[in-house]
């Protein structure tokens, strides 16, 4: 009996993951906040890498990393400020 109940729960979770319609807003918000947290940590690591490149007088690598970092920041800004995610 419990196996059938567990199979039904797994089936519901699988369908929700495929369609995305049954996922609650709270779950989506928590996922987005975690995504922003990890991207923020990654951006901080990139800024530290930029500082290391500048200290070692590797200005070309610092410039390339700076461009990548600012593109990533712009991407996250667009994600935060968009009203409809499918419009991106």
Dihedral over alpha carbons 60, 65, 70, 40 (to 10 degrees)? -160
Evaluate whether residue 19 is within a structural domain: no
Evaluate whether residue 3 is within a structural domain: no
Evaluate whether residue 66 is within a structural domain: yes
Q: What is the mean pLDDT of each successive set of 10 residues along the chain, which is 88 residues long?
A: 73 70 76 92 96 96 96 92 68
Q: How many domains does the chain have?
A: 1
Looking at residue 45, what is its pLDDT?
97
Domain housing 45? 24-87
Looking at residue 6, what is its pLDDT?
79
Evaluate whether residue 11 is within a structural domain: no
Evaluate whether residue 9 is within a structural domain: no
Evaluate whether residue 12 is within a structural domain: no
């Amino acid at each position: 009996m419990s196996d059938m109940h567990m199979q039904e729960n797994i089936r519901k979770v699988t369908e929700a993951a495929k369609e995305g319609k049954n996922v609650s807003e709270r779950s989506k918000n928590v996922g987005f906040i975690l995504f922003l947290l990890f991207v923020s940590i990654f951006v901080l690591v990139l800024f530290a890498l930029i500082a290391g490149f500048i200290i070692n007088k590797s200005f070309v690598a610092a410039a390339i990393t700076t461009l990548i970092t600012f593109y990533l920041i712009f991407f996250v800004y667009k994600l935060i400020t968009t009203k409809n995610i499918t419009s991106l």
